[in-house]
Amino acid sequence: MAAVDGPMEQKKTEILRMSPDQAIRNDSDTEVQLFPTFGYPIAKDSLWRIQIQGRISQSAPASFGKRLMLRGLIRALHIPNDVAQGKLFQQRIRGFLAAPIAGARVQVELAGQQYVLRRKSKTSGLFNCKLDLTAKQLQGFRTYGLLPSKDSKEKESEFLQRWDDGLGQTSSPVFLAERTGVSVISDIDDTIKQTEVNSRRRMLQRTFAEPFASIDGMADAYQMWAEQGALFHYVSSSPWQIYDAVNQFLIDERFPLGSMHLKWFRLRDEIFKRWQILRRKSKGGIIRSLIRRLPERSFVLVGDSGERDPEIYAKLASKHPSQVTRICIRQIDANPLDTSRLNKIYRRYGMTVPIQVFTTAVQLGDLKSY
């Protein structure tokens, strides 16, 4: 149900992309999302492994349980009815209300070849699968290595313009990470986007009822790092159900695009009361998987002090001291990384990588400042 357009004749640095294959759609209500992902070389660089990830769903009347959930969310948000009926709120909850399609085999096209994914979609509608392509198949597509491509900025601009087509066929990039290079793993909430995670009500209001707002200067800092050759991976506890809004935020605020790694939230009783607890799970595991799959790349980890980013990152650095070269933590007043907390981290995990605490984006400096 999905495809990637990218003919082999296209010139060097073309970004490998994925898009829904309309030719095999049977139901106009069916929607396939392909999330931005990454690929990496294996088998002595003769093959590239692509991590396909996405969701298949369809529009359907909300079930009784979902209507109850929605009413509970509106109460928790303390928003007036006109806001609840407004376009922004309806767009943000759309992913929660969509009916997932389970047990479907999704077809994708990569580099001019079509593949039917071995794994069927889950009950959530999510699907993921690994596909191995030959290096020859990927000739002509942009890769991210030690040195930035001379025309990467121009290609990035063209890519941003073609990303949001808004109709039917939606495309999504595959970022090809060379064996060596620098990968930036960045949190989203309160690191590059204002969320106020330490206040449940404000977090929910900012997530569902307010326009997203970026942290001053972070897009410029990241763009500078991208120009210096960094590949970005956005790892966040934000729900996959609001992926469209998060992705559009990155585009609108001109952050460098990269692979996306969010979290699936199941609809169940008291979900929004337990939101903060659910958010804290699995981030470390996702980052650990990225580091293991890219064993010769260096990693810069960027997060904030609001939750447990400092502890998670320090633990990862202690396990992978040759790969994690820099840790940057944005200071959050509601839960600061003070001397006591910092010393506790160093005592437990060692000072493998000193933690840089910053309050403004300009303090980040160049990619390899530390």
**Torsion-angle region of residue 38: left (phi > 0), alpha (psi -120 to 50) or beta?**
beta
| pLDDT value at residue 60 | 79
Could you please report the per-residue DSSP string of 1-28?
A: --B----TTSPTTBPEEEB--GGG---T
| pLDDT value at residue 226 | 95
Cβ–Cβ under 8 Å, residues 78 and 208: no
In the block, tokens 């529009």 appear at 59
Domain limits, the chain: 16-60+99-149+173-177, 64-97, 182-364
Q: At what angle do helices 87-97 and 200-208 cross, to 10 degrees?
A: 100
| pLDDT value at residue 321 | 95
**CA trace torsion 17, 224, 357, 175 (10° rounding):** 20
- pLDDT by residue for the chain (370 residues), tens digit each? 444 444 434 444 566 666 554 334 445 577 889 999 999 999 999 999 999 999 999 887 878 778 888 888 888 888 898 999 999 999 999 998 899 999 998 888 888 788 888 999 999 999 999 999 999 988 878 888 876 555 444 443 222 212 222 335 566 899 999 999 999 999 999 999 999 998 988 998 999 999 999 999 999 999 999 999 999 999 998 889 999 999 999 999 999 999 999 988 765 544 555 554 444 457 899 999 999 999 999 999 999 999 999 999 999 999 999 999 999 999 999 999 999 999 999 999 998 898 999 999 999 999 986 5
**The CATH number fitting domain 182-364, selected from 3.40.50.1000, 3.40.50.970, 3.20.20.70, 3.40.50.2300:** 3.40.50.1000
Q: In sequence order, what E strands does 35-87 have?
A: 37-42, 47-58
Distance separating alpha carbons of residues 304 and 315, to the nearest angstrom: 15
The sign one gets for the Cα dihedral 83, 89, 91, 93 is: negative
